[in-house]
Structure 1
Amino acid sequence: MKSTWWIPVNVCALTLVSSLVSGEEARWVTVHPVEIEDILANPGMGWETFHRTAANDRNLPEWIPSTVHYLRWGWGELEPAPGRLNVELLDKVLAETRSAGQKLAFRVMCCSTTRGRPYHPRWLRDVGGRVITTRYGDIQGLEVPDLDDPVTLNAHLNFIRRLGAKYDGHPDLDHVDLGSVGWWGEWHMSNSEPARMPLPENQRKIIDTYLESFRKTPLLMLIDGPEMLHYATSRGTGWRADCLGDMGGFSRNWCHMRNAYPDTLSKAQAIDVWETAPVAWETCWDIRKWVEEGWSLRYIFNYALALHGSYFNNKSAPLPPGDEVREEVTRFLRRLGYRLVIRELRHPTMVRAGENLSVTMVWQNVGSAPCYRPYRVAFRLTGPSGKTFIHVGEKTVREILPGEVEVFTQSFMQNPPDLPPGKPVTFEEIVPIERTLEPGEYSLAVGVVDGADSQKPVVQLAIAGKDADGWYPLSRVLIASP
């Protein structure tokens, strides 16, 4: 015997199906939540503001949420005197970032291309460190630290260690770029003479020191240079590329999108790094340049999604006007990072206090990347008197992966396809029902929380029905007396 009916739960229309199971008296409910199209503000992904918080970014449209505030600092700004971190600056920015509802990401730089404004500390020579005078293209008289000099290298390594000792795992810190080396910390010294990149063994020492100093906060390696990109990513870092969208702005015969990125990622064996660590994109110039040049936004954004980006930084520049631009940016941000949908939830209509409630769920990631954090699926039962009971399950949403396309093939380079949704993932969870729970009908809500001891959801799902506390009441279950 089967019956089907429709009932409303909050704002979400749900299909509930009940049936007798194996001749027992239990009836089962199947719920199909409604998927939504909103751009979601979730931790560890999305639109980054640049050198200003979301609260102070006048170019951030109201329809774009941002959970990450991204900054770059010179070494000298963060260590104004030997051995002294500028904690006043760092703590102030962290507090401002938290107040804006964001987390901070940053990079340390050593080599500046602005004459008279070096990134290294002014005290470096005083402690015996070596500074080189070099050029960047036509810009002469640039001073940069020599990271092959033992005194200079040790001073910088000790700085990284102090930075990690103070801020690794800070609750307001999202990630840290593995920078320091090369112009702007990008791991290249292009158009420079006589300064060169540090020796490979010293580059590895810098990478190792970051890895030792930041064991909790994710690290993202800059993409220039396949040898060191492989060295860093094979040891657990993600990667960051700072020239998304370059379709020929530097040369008619070479560009980052069709030449540099395919070549570097392939040689570094870093194409599949996204499976374990995040990918961040920053625009070459900004989106206005892309539109002025007539470069396809769909091509660029599909490319970024196919490489499984989690973050996007437009340097807090204004967006170009026009409905087409907004449509393409919206389409992109709906897919960027993880985007979790509950396709189905199934459970018995009744359970006795003191027994277990069996819940089966089908999840799907329709975004471009995994959620790299060990967030867990949790359940909240709310009884007739308003009393709640929360159970945090064993399953983490890290297991829910996005779809894939083969990248850097001839057809991909001609026209990157839409990234398909990930394969549906079925979770089986057991919710123990306390024997002391009062009998009655309970609301069953689902949330994604940060760890076994957390009771507040931290992830927005791409389904309707979220309540004021971040939970998704999806069904009802009758709890009977023991």
Structure 2
Amino acid sequence: MTRTRPFASLPFSIALLLLAALASPTLAQPTASWRFTPADFSYSPGPADNPLKGLVPYQDPPADRFPYSMEFNYLPLAKLVTGPGQYDWQPMDAMLEDIASRGRQTVVRVFLEYPGRKNLIPQFLIDGGLKVHYYMNTNTAPHPPAAIETPDYEDPNLRKTMTDFIAAWGARYDGDPRLAYITAGLLGTWGEWHTYPKSELWASKQVQREILDAYVAAFPKTPVLLRYPAGPNDELYYDSTTYPFGYHDDSFAHSTLPTGRKQDDWYFWPKMLHAGLSQRWQTAPIGGEIRPEVWGCCFDKEPCTAASQSFDECRDVTHATWMMDTGLSRKKADADRYRRAIEAVQKMGYDLQVVAAAAKRQPDGSVKVQVTVENRGIAPFYHHGWTVRLQIASDQKLIGELATDWSPRMIQPGARKTFEHTLDPATLPAGKHQLQLQIPNPMPSGKPLRFANQAVDPRSGALTLGTFAVAG
């Protein structure tokens, strides 16, 4: 429980005016009288573009196609690492700033190989003897095969370059409010941790372990997601069950759920089950990308391909918080698809409803504020650095703010959490006031977290908890 004075964070000039008003004989110190009337806390689903959840288009999508709070893009390692221990962060900063300029946060992946692209591997490594395999990659559907350059992942200089880069990246950006999620990347085609169909070029488990160890040390705050879940007996992948990472399914709504066929055991959820990770969503996020074959049409009433799987079922089984999607940003959806997509996306991730509030006078004259929040979503809110503010308004104008130590993190679906805070009513002017709750985005231009309440302000995210009167 925290105890603060409500005007500590106000500008000095405003604080002086309030102090002068409190000193006035017409605004006497409050008596024991304190009356609090709770507001209406009726449920209404949070918006589809609530922060850090929902659908994620690629960087700078067409405006007004579908509401979203994040954008995704790749960066090649060669653009960021210019020499041993030498880094150029300008491309990373430019991407983060561009996306933040639209009020969105960034999902990013750094990679070394991509079909049809060249010069992705830092040149100093090649000059130093790194072996590179050149061939046509045929695993590019729905696009045609394309030339690819796969480095020798066992090369000691490359391994040190990757782990040193992760450490430097984390030192500079871990917890940066512009950065929403990192997909681990670096290894394999598109940074997706495979070199299929040339699996003989895939990184050894020792190399994978080095990457995992580097990420866990460098990013204790920003969530990192891995492509493939793996337990101790996995043939290709190092056991990741002891690491705190989330996972991303890049064939979502197509190759997600079990089919009962042995050849489909590589699908995302069968691998999660086999690795014993079916409850990982309780502590780390599940994300990914909707498979290109079902972009957009995965929200239609009828399936668009024989291989498509129900978006709603995939979402609920995996407890997905976010998914990359191009279908709804590529072209304007018709009314029925748009409506169904909004309803489906609102059910992703967290959905926090204020269900009760009270403000009771204590024997020592202070007031204890209690607010109960329930998560009606399918996953918790995962991020550090988001804190709740209590606000005091009079005639709909803000007159005071109280910083709290409340955090929306890790309220599990179906669970409730009651927060407490103590304020000093002697610092308040006499009259009728509103007590409000707000969770601002730590990125100044970002969208606030909006509660799943009918009465929430859709722009500021402020929710009135109730009204109270201070006698004078």
1-side partners of 2:412 and 2:229: how far apart?
27
- Relative to structure 2, which stretch is displaced further, 337-346 or 457-466? 457-466
- Write out per-residue CA displacement over residues 168-198 of structure 1, whole angstroms, 9 at most, x where no aligned residue: 23231112111111221111221116x4222
Going from structure 1 to structure 2, the CA distance change for 1:253 and 1:398 (only over 3 Å counts) comes to same
Contact 1:279 1:311 in 2 (8 A): yes
Contact 2:46 2:451 in 1 (8 A): no
Contact 1:353 1:437 in 2 (8 A): no
1-side partners of 2:419 and 2:167: how far apart?
43
Identity of aligned residues (%): 20
1:271 aligns with 2:278: yes
Equivalent position of 2:11 in the other structure: none
- Relative to structure 2, which stretch is displaced further, 200-209 or 436-445? 436-445
CA apart distance, 1:31: 3.5
Equivalent position of 1:307 in the other structure: 318
- Write out per-residue CA displacement over residues 262-310 of structure 1, whole angstroms, 9 at most, x where no aligned residue: 321022222111111111020111424655315667x222322331111
1-side partners of 2:266 and 2:146: how far apart?
29
Residue 66 (structure 1) aligned to one of 65, 68, 88? 68
1:119 alignment partner AA = L
CA apart distance, 1:238: 1.1
Equivalent position of 1:397 in the other structure: 408
> Residue 214 of structure 2: SS of its match in structure 1?
helix
1:472 alignment partner AA = L
CA apart distance, 1:459: 1.3
Which residues of 2 match residues 99-114 of structure 1 at below 5 A? 99-114=101-116
1:327 alignment partner AA = R
- Relative to structure 2, which stretch is displaced further, 361-370 or 226-235? 226-235
CA apart distance, 1:240: 0.9
1:189 aligns with 2:195: yes
1:212 aligns with 2:226: no
Equivalent position of 2:157 in the other structure: 151
Equivalent position of 1:17 in the other structure: none
Equivalent position of 2:169 in the other structure: 163
Equivalent position of 2:226 in the other structure: 221
- Relative to structure 2, which stretch is displaced further, 381-390 or 119-128? 381-390
1:367 alignment partner AA = G
2:452 alignment partner AA = A
Contact 2:448 2:460 in 1 (8 A): no
Structure 2, unmatched stretches of 5+, are 1-31, 140-144
2-side partners of 1:312 and 1:213: how far apart?
24
> Residue 343 of structure 1: SS of its match in structure 2?
strand
Going from structure 1 to structure 2, the CA distance change for 1:218 and 1:465 (only over 3 Å counts) comes to same
> Residue 389 of structure 1: SS of its match in structure 2?
strand
1:318 aligns with 2:326: no
2-side partners of 1:206 and 1:214: how far apart?
12
CA apart distance, 1:221: 1.1
Equivalent position of 1:117 in the other structure: 118
Equivalent position of 2:91 in the other structure: 89
Going from structure 1 to structure 2, the CA distance change for 1:214 and 1:329 (only over 3 Å counts) comes to same
2-side partners of 1:398 and 1:147: how far apart?
37
> Residue 293 of structure 1: SS of its match in structure 2?
coil
2-side partners of 1:168 and 1:394: how far apart?
21
Equivalent position of 1:363 in the other structure: 373
Equivalent position of 1:45 in the other structure: 53
2-side partners of 1:304 and 1:436: how far apart?
48
CA apart distance, 1:340: 1.0
- Relative to structure 2, which stretch is displaced further, 95-104 or 361-370? 361-370
1-side partners of 2:471 and 2:410: how far apart?
34
2-side partners of 1:235 and 1:367: how far apart?
25
Going from structure 1 to structure 2, the CA distance change for 1:389 and 1:457 (only over 3 Å counts) comes to farther
Between 1 and 2, higher relative CO (CA 8 Å, sep ≥ 6) is seen in 2
1:262 aligns with 2:286: no
1-side partners of 2:211 and 2:75: how far apart?
17
Contact 1:448 1:457 in 2 (8 A): no
Equivalent position of 2:13 in the other structure: none
> Residue 312 of structure 1: SS of its match in structure 2?
strand
Contact 2:367 2:425 in 1 (8 A): no
2-side partners of 1:365 and 1:100: how far apart?
28
Residue 249 (structure 2) aligned to one of 231, 234, 241? 241
1:129 alignment partner AA = L
Equivalent position of 2:392 in the other structure: 381
> Residue 438 of structure 1: SS of its match in structure 2?
coil
CA apart distance, 1:311: 0.8
Residue 464 (structure 1) aligned to one of 448, 454, 466? 454
2:455 alignment partner AA = G
Q: How many residues align?
A: 422
2-side partners of 1:126 and 1:372: how far apart?
42
2-side partners of 1:276 and 1:344: how far apart?
26
TM-score (norm 2): 0.78
- Write out per-residue CA displacement over residues 437-468 of structure 1, whole angstroms, 9 at most, x where no aligned residue: 222221111222579xx9x9931112133346
